[in-house]
Amino acid sequence: MTTRDPRIETITDDLRTVYGRVQQLIVPAWLKLDLTMAQFKALVAVERSSGVGVCGLGRQLSIGESAASLLVDQLVRRGYVGRKPDPAARRRVLLGATSRGEKRLRELRQGSAEIMNEWLAELDQDELEALAHGLRALAGVVSAEKTRAADHATSENAGT
């Protein structure tokens, strides 16, 4: 078994502390959200996969088509999601977040960005540079892993 660098555990603990505090500070805004958790997940999925159909949304959320359809109906009624016909298949509908839905998600994300900006403003230039350097390196690892996962999924789908 290889010896693990003790800095990894420290970094992991520090990241957990930062993320935990961000969550504590933004929870009040999230609790005021006028959506159920299922609706919120569906809205996020639609925003991330604009142009997804109801079946695709159901697959992403690991729910049946009828449950996905119900969630979409609720989000459409609230003005968070819109439907448009698929030009390639007349009976199919494509989903997209409306400007209201995008605004709601942006508001929720904005709170954590503001908190992070305030904390980062308290660091001196050397600390900011060291953090930026480390995060760039970590982001590079994450991007490479994401690319490998996408390549793997593509090769698996090509084999079926």
Tens-binned pLDDT, residue by residue, of the chain (160 aa) = 456 888 999 999 999 999 999 888 888 888 888 899 999 999 999 999 988 999 999 999 999 999 999 999 999 999 999 999 988 888 889 999 999 999 999 888 888 888 999 999 999 999 999 999 999 999 999 999 878 877 776 766 665 5
DSSP single-letter state for residue 5: P
b/e sequence 79-118, b meaning 16+ C-beta within 10 Å: ebbbeeeeeeeeeeebbbbbeebeebbeeeeebeeebeee
| Cα separation, 23 vs 17, whole angstroms | 10
